[in-house]
Chains A and B, each alone.
Chain A
């Protein structure tokens, strides 16, 4: 039987994590907003083309590097994100103990896990120096939205699973789907930022394109988005295949164009399109980024619309 007390503690922790993430988002936004004021050009002897700092295309004399004075708001926001991550992790683990099973058996738990992956991927990239931490201002938006929706509309108390989910494949298939979804979510945000920055570089100054001023270079954003998708795409492929193997033993067929399967297929085809577009003349850059955004949109339809509005075999929550 599910443990009510543990379950409620887990729910409380998740709510706390959302608040902490929201505060972190504000801090990162502060860091973004003041990035121009904190920029100083220091003359250094070292290599010439190191400029990776954010900002409008300023002609920088060779032997100089743009240095950003560290922002207090950004440091606090980063620490808050780490704290939120720990609280978030604790809430997921408690869920598992409360329900005596993997903590991803319904939409509430799945959303929480997907957001957790997105935050983990973001923090991992920040620590490895692959992404600027101030992008947290944008990354935290869908994270907070996902978790907010999960704790309000999609809330489900800890409980047992329907028979179709009684299988070890839930560990494999759903875990892979979560890992891929969280990463795709992050790549969708970065692709949108790329579009902003690239418009800004072309002279756009209207909001929201004006936000591009304090973003990393378009090339850097493009690389980030690609790196995340290149990681997530095989994982998503594996999730679909594991799902097919599971469906074969649960429903008697490995593929039946159930709405969830159809939208997973659409998402897969669009990401495959992105990977090809990035290597095709005339499609590189903005067009490819739009494909990545469309693919992330298909992923969101695959999750929210299919689970809530379309009748199908995946309607568990």
Chain B
């Protein structure tokens, strides 16, 4: 590096990759590492990362919506199956996506370490020596001052307040804006911290969802959840102990059916303490220790009473129905068995505000319960409950069953009873609502938040702080005057620096003039 080169290097960007010398031990490895940590490779990996995320932005993803993924695969035959095999529906956990971001982060760390070292050195070092020819710098000025060199330099030093100034003989070197590179390093380091935080969540986090009908509740233990997503190293004993009871769920809608508010009025308690009330809303989760309980869904659960021929109640419970459209037309499955062993299966729809079209199809015209009805088709035969294979309460397998009444649908209003051919009966009592809650424990949330703060803060510093250098040389002139030469350099926003430089120069000139 020549002197001018050294003085004018304002970045810690790594030097271009040098080809390995012949016979150099580990040469190829070193070359590979240098290639990986070069800016060009990082750039390429960045573009690859964006490109790899594109299918995840267009295609349904299994983690978000498995039903739509299955529909898509079924609808696209061999192509769909091929896409499935190469991970198009699990983009963000696929091998190729992971490979790209891991390489990118390896490249980032490989770049970050030497740059941090260089920056630390620059922070401790004195501003570089004055280049021989200040005229070759982007901005420079020279004049003859009617004062001694010392006075000129003192004046210049006073002008450069806020700069790091170093005097060597009759020369001044000044530098400012070290925070630019500090910010740059903080930004990139925070990205690494972010990745670590996300990984910690993958390992120790927990997520469980549970459907609760009004009047019932759940405890934060694995057994209660309908669906759990524990981290790979998650320890069930780390679940915060508490219970939640859903006192009432309440939704309000605008006249066009658009949802206005959802409220889940719950009573919650930790073991050994009394219950407290809380209103869980969207944007208003319940926090107990590190566990947060969110309201993520709701629907209707018609209360069904099933009686035997002799009137014995064999089933008496709310049956959660799953909403299918914005007006809350919901599908229901009811499975009952009489004391004699006759098994009944019911499949149907619940409609909160029931309307029937010209073809007698039922529908719902409003999500609130203005005119609720339960329309059912009954089956009798083998429900398959004894086969030992676990089955969903939300689906009915009718392969070993026979339709009752030739499959004619029966519509029931609240309080009505359907008398089945063999004497059993089904009563639709009323319609409590249900809510689904998600409990999340994410011990690394703060790591991620901290990283986010570092990312924004570092970015602001690295984009808006300008690093610049100014040099002053005071030479002996004629008749006791001093020839002052000033030069400056900034890689960012040269226009703004030019006007800043002009201002500094005029200040310096004024400074010696007043002294004289």
Most buried by A among B46, B60, B292, B449: B46
Distance from B297 Cβ to chain A, minimum over Cβ atoms (Å): 11
Whether A259 and B459, one on each chain, are in contact in the complex, defined by CB atoms closer than 8 angstroms, is no
Given the interface pairs A244-B452, A257-B63, the reply to whether A250 lies near B283 with Cβ below 8 Å is yes
What residues of A have a CB within 8 angstroms of the CB of B438 in the complex? Answer: 252
Whether A266 and B283, one on each chain, are in contact in the complex, defined by CB atoms closer than 8 angstroms, is no
Distance from A98 Cβ to chain B, minimum over Cβ atoms (Å): 15
Contact partner of B283 among A166, A272, A311, CB < 8 A?
A166
Whether A234 and B283, one on each chain, are in contact in the complex, defined by CB atoms closer than 8 angstroms, is no
Question: Which positions 150-198 of chain A face chain B at CB distance < 8 Å?
Answer: 159-160, 162-164, 166-167, 169
Which residue on chain B has the smallest CB distance to residue A260? B57
Whether B40 and A280, one on each chain, are in contact in the complex, defined by CB atoms closer than 8 angstroms, is yes
> Number of contacting residues on A, CB 8 A?
52
Given the interface pairs A163-B260, A237-B459, A280-B39, the reply to whether A272 lies near B13 with Cβ below 8 Å is no
Which residue on chain A has the smallest CB distance to residue B287? A249
Map CB proximity to B onto A213-249 as digits: 1 under 8 Å, 0 otherwise: 0000000000100000010011001100100111011
What residues of B have a CB within 8 angstroms of the CB of A311 in the complex? Answer: 60, 65, 68
* A14 CB-CB contact with B under 8 Å: no
* B50 CB-CB contact with A under 8 Å: yes
> Number of contacting residues on B, CB 8 A?
52
7 new A-B contacts at CB < 8 Å, known A163-B282, A230-B464, A258-B64: A162-B258, A237-B455, A273-B43, A273-B50, A276-B42, A279-B39, A280-B40
Map CB proximity to B onto A122-163 as digits: 1 under 8 Å, 0 otherwise: 000000000000000000000000000000000000011011
What residues of A have a CB within 8 angstroms of the CB of B281 in the complex? Answer: 163, 166
* A282 CB-CB contact with B under 8 Å: yes
Whether B262 and A163, one on each chain, are in contact in the complex, defined by CB atoms closer than 8 angstroms, is yes
* B54 CB-CB contact with A under 8 Å: yes
* A79 CB-CB contact with B under 8 Å: no
* B432 CB-CB contact with A under 8 Å: no
Whether B63 and A279, one on each chain, are in contact in the complex, defined by CB atoms closer than 8 angstroms, is no
What residues of B have a CB within 8 angstroms of the CB of A276 in the complex? Answer: 39, 42-43, 46
How far is it, in angstroms, between the C-alpha of A306 and the C-alpha of B54 when the chains are bound? 12
Whether A298 and B50, one on each chain, are in contact in the complex, defined by CB atoms closer than 8 angstroms, is yes
Chain A to chain B: the 5 pairs with minimum beta-carbon distance, closest first: A252-B294, A262-B57, A167-B283, A269-B50, A273-B46
Map CB proximity to A onto B43-72 as digits: 1 under 8 Å, 0 otherwise: 100110110011011101101110010000
List 19 contacting pairs A-B, 8 Å CB cutoff, sorted by A. Answer: A159-B254, A160-B254, A162-B259, A163-B282, A163-B283, A166-B283, A223-B495, A234-B459, A241-B452, A252-B292, A255-B198, A269-B49, A269-B50, A273-B47, A276-B39, A280-B39, A281-B16, A311-B68, A312-B64
How far is it, in angstroms, between the C-alpha of A15 and the C-alpha of B477 when the chains are bound? 70
* A303 CB-CB contact with B under 8 Å: no
* B261 CB-CB contact with A under 8 Å: yes
A contact patch SS:
helix
Given the interface pairs A241-B456, A263-B57, the reply to whether A233 lies near B463 with Cβ below 8 Å is yes
What residues of B have a CB within 8 angstroms of the CB of A253 in the complex? Answer: 207, 440
Whether A166 and B61, one on each chain, are in contact in the complex, defined by CB atoms closer than 8 angstroms, is no
How far is it, in angstroms, between the C-alpha of A266 and the C-alpha of B283 when the chains are bound? 26
What residues of A have a CB within 8 angstroms of the CB of B16 in the complex? Answer: 281
How far is it, in angstroms, between the C-alpha of A159 and the C-alpha of B254 when the chains are bound? 10
Query: What's the A-B contact tally at a CB cutoff of 8 Å?
Result: 117
Whether A310 and B13, one on each chain, are in contact in the complex, defined by CB atoms closer than 8 angstroms, is no
Whether B53 and A266, one on each chain, are in contact in the complex, defined by CB atoms closer than 8 angstroms, is yes
Distance from A314 Cβ to chain B, minimum over Cβ atoms (Å): 12
What residues of A have a CB within 8 angstroms of the CB of B135 in the complex? Answer: none
How far is it, in angstroms, between the C-alpha of A258 and the C-alpha of B58 when the chains are bound? 10
How far is it, in angstroms, between the C-alpha of A156 and the C-alpha of B425 when the chains are bound? 49
How far is it, in angstroms, between the C-alpha of A60 and the C-alpha of B342 when the chains are bound? 101
What residues of A have a CB within 8 angstroms of the CB of B65 in the complex? Answer: 311
Contact partner of A270 among B50, B58, B64, CB < 8 A?
B50
Distance from B209 Cβ to chain A, minimum over Cβ atoms (Å): 9
Whether B282 and A250, one on each chain, are in contact in the complex, defined by CB atoms closer than 8 angstroms, is yes
Contact partner of B456 among A167, A230, A234, A310, CB < 8 A?
A234
Whether B259 and A249, one on each chain, are in contact in the complex, defined by CB atoms closer than 8 angstroms, is no
How far is it, in angstroms, between the C-alpha of A256 and the C-alpha of B63 when the chains are bound? 8
Which residue on chain A has the smallest CB distance to residue B49? A269
What residues of A have a CB within 8 angstroms of the CB of B91 in the complex? Answer: 257
What residues of B have a CB within 8 angstroms of the CB of A256 in the complex? Answer: 63-64
* A289 CB-CB contact with B under 8 Å: no
Which residue on chain B has the smallest CB distance to residue A162? B259
Distance from A162 Cβ to chain B, minimum over Cβ atoms (Å): 6
How far is it, in angstroms, between the C-alpha of A230 and the C-alpha of B463 when the chains are bound? 6
* A304 CB-CB contact with B under 8 Å: no
Given the interface pairs A241-B452, A254-B448, the reply to whether A164 lies near B64 with Cβ below 8 Å is no
* B460 CB-CB contact with A under 8 Å: yes
* A265 CB-CB contact with B under 8 Å: yes
What residues of B have a CB within 8 angstroms of the CB of A301 in the complex? Answer: 57
Given the interface pairs A256-B64, A282-B40, the reply to whether A160 lies near B456 with Cβ below 8 Å is no
* B126 CB-CB contact with A under 8 Å: no
* B410 CB-CB contact with A under 8 Å: no
